Amino acid sequence: MSFIVVPVARALLGAVVSVSLGAPSLFGQQAQPLEFKSDTLKQGDIASGQTSLLGIRKRGMEVFATPFTKNVGYGDGPVNAADPTSPGGRPTLQNNSKFLRVNGLDAQTCMECHSIVSNLTVPFTFGLGGVGGSNANAMAKPTTIDVADTQHNGFAAFNGRFINPPFLFGSGGVELLAKEMTEDLQTLKARAMRQPGVTVPLVTKGVNFGTIQFVGGSLDTSGVRGVDPDLVVRPFGRKGQFANVRAFDVSAMQFHFGMQPVEAVGFGVDADGDGVVNEISEGDLSALSIFLTTMDRPRRTTESTAATNGEGRFHSLGCAACHMPALETRSPILTYSFPEVETDPTQNVYYSTDLRAARPGFQANGVGGIEVPLFSDLKRHDMGSGLAESTGSDLDRYFITARLWGVADTAPYLHDGRAHTLEEAILLHGGEAQPVRDAFAALTDSAQQELVAFLMTLRTPVAPAGDLMPPQPGDRRLGQLR
């Protein structure tokens, strides 16, 4: 196997530069095979501060956008007949030996699924870290797909997950909020343990996660709401399963590509039996997660009168109870830990970034932290049977409140992309949101349109990693962003 190190970086970064300078054509360059090379940036060089943040982010972009191939560990070894859904041995479609599509092995780069910055233009505005259309939905871990509808109920029985890719913009602010909320909840848990029999309310940043109590020598978590019983706030994944971007990335590498991170399988270990070891290094994952958490955040455009009225209705109807417009942090600094101790994110810190920097560009809140205008409470809610998944898990009806920042640009909506329009997305709310949904449905058409006009002021960033990747020429977005 031969690695072509320098041309990889040059081909990728060279391509970017040529776009930004308006150079004649990408195709005018000498074509080079693009092959991923792991561990070109060592964890030690990131931790020691030897590599600049820009250098780290560039490497992260490479990890995000260089196609993985069988030479570097794409895919798994022999099929695992005992568990065809496990990364580490899956069948492929029609013996094509590359893609399965229904259980991972569904793309070659992260970017393929996370690449639409806005779909309000024709053609789409493409860019790193954006959403995916329905074609990019992940279909995770089904063992039954009854397309023949043998139950004759109008839908194919399916016991996996069918999920639409969200964008990764502003994820640094989300991760910092979650870390601080986790710290608060752990402190409240410690308080409960010091005061046996006392019911302690679990409130952090204005979000109510129920109560906890220490009785008979053990913690009673039956009153905990919208967060796991370990009181770790996990904002990533539509179910809220991942505490930080890195944890998600580790799992995405294995699920989508069969690329095995050293930190998941061990150094020198060929866990998927494909003949390749050390497929993704610690440094690769650090660079990837630093790149993603420093992407620009979504912005708001200036509002029309209709949008201002709509914003009022967003509050008066009760949307803001879940879609909380902004949460604030105590610190502007996002720390990165490896390995991360989820219940104590202050341990094992190896790097940090200032979220007020040009990217991601969060605004200081005046009291030492930043404002994260995410339109979410980072809490899980029961959304009713209509939106429920069918995996058999207790969490089938539950989703973490979708962050509405950027929502103007990110159709299709809801976890599986079933809603083509914002009205549809709102009308499909059920469960805990049923009364608010009904109040929206009862509005006059024009009042509904005002609420939608407000949502249309919530835009994705124009150039999410603009210093690495310039805005696309097709981007015709107008309006003052703030």
Binding residues for ligand HEC, rule: CB under 6 A, are: 106-107, 110, 112-114, 132, 136, 138, 163-166, 168, 236-239, 245, 248-249, 252-253, 256, 288, 292, 314, 317-319, 321-323, 381, 383, 387, 399, 401-402, 404, 407, 410, 413-415, 422, 425-426, 429, 432-433, 436, 440, 451
* 116 CA to centre of own chain: 14
Nearest approach in angstroms of CB 400 to ligand HEC is 6
Give the Cα separation of 327 and 238 in Å (integer). Answer: 19
Nearest approach in angstroms of CB 254 to ligand HEC is 9
Nearest approach in angstroms of CB 191 to ligand HEC is 28
Rank residues 338 and 399 by Cβ distance to ligand HEC and give the closer one. Answer: 399
Give the Cα separation of 429 and 414 in Å (integer). Answer: 9
Rank residues 204 and 410 by Cβ distance to ligand HEC and give the closer one. Answer: 410
Rank residues 212 and 407 by Cβ distance to ligand HEC and give the closer one. Answer: 407
Rank residues 202 and 288 by Cβ distance to ligand HEC and give the closer one. Answer: 288
Residue 345 phi, psi dihedral angles, 5° rounding: -65, -5
Three-state secondary-structure class, residue 207: strand
Rank residues 271 and 402 by Cβ distance to ligand HEC and give the closer one. Answer: 402
Contact 300, 373 (CB under 8 A): yes
Contact 79, 91 (CB under 8 A): yes
Q: Which residues have CB under 8 Å from 456's CB, separation 6+?
A: 307, 408, 422
Rank residues 114 and 359 by Cβ distance to ligand HEC and give the closer one. Answer: 114
Closest CA relative to residue 175, chosen from 290, 39, 305, 33? 290
At 213, the amino acid letter reads: Q
Give the Cα separation of 465 and 458 in Å (integer). Answer: 18
Question: Which residue stretches of 220-281 are H helix?
Answer: 245-252, 262-265
Give the Cα separation of 271 and 361 in Å (integer). Answer: 40
Nearest approach in angstroms of CB 369 to ligand HEC is 21
Angle of CA points 42, 169, 37, to nearest 5°: 25
At 384, the amino acid letter reads: G
Nearest approach in angstroms of CB 423 to ligand HEC is 9
Nearest approach in angstroms of CB 317 to ligand HEC is 5
Rank residues 16 and 174 by Cβ distance to ligand HEC and give the closer one. Answer: 174
Q: Which residues have CB under 8 Å from 1's CB, separation 6+?
A: 71, 72
The dihedral formed by the CA atoms of 171, 173, 175 and 176, expressed in degrees to the nearest 10: 160
Nearest approach in angstroms of CB 353 to ligand HEC is 16
Nearest approach in angstroms of CB 91 to ligand HEC is 17
Nearest approach in angstroms of CB 247 to ligand HEC is 9
Rank residues 243 and 402 by Cβ distance to ligand HEC and give the closer one. Answer: 402
What does the radius of gyration of the chain's CA atoms come to, in whole angstroms? 23
Rank residues 300 and 415 by Cβ distance to ligand HEC and give the closer one. Answer: 415
Contact 354, 333 (CB under 8 A): yes
Both tokens of residue 425?
């997305």
Rank residues 259 and 463 by Cβ distance to ligand HEC and give the closer one. Answer: 259
Both tokens of residue 37?
């090379």
Contact 322, 376 (CB under 8 A): yes
Give the Cα separation of 274 and 270 in Å (integer). Answer: 7
Nearest approach in angstroms of CB 213 to ligand HEC is 25
Nearest approach in angstroms of CB 116 to ligand HEC is 12
Rank residues 189 and 299 by Cβ distance to ligand HEC and give the closer one. Answer: 299
- Cβ burial 303-327 (10 Å sphere, 16+ → b, else e): beebbebbbebbeebbbeebbbbbb
Nearest approach in angstroms of CB 152 to ligand HEC is 26
- 77 burial class (0-12, 13-18, 19+ CB within 10 angstroms)? middle
Strand partners, 210: 224
Rank residues 193 and 395 by Cβ distance to ligand HEC and give the closer one. Answer: 395
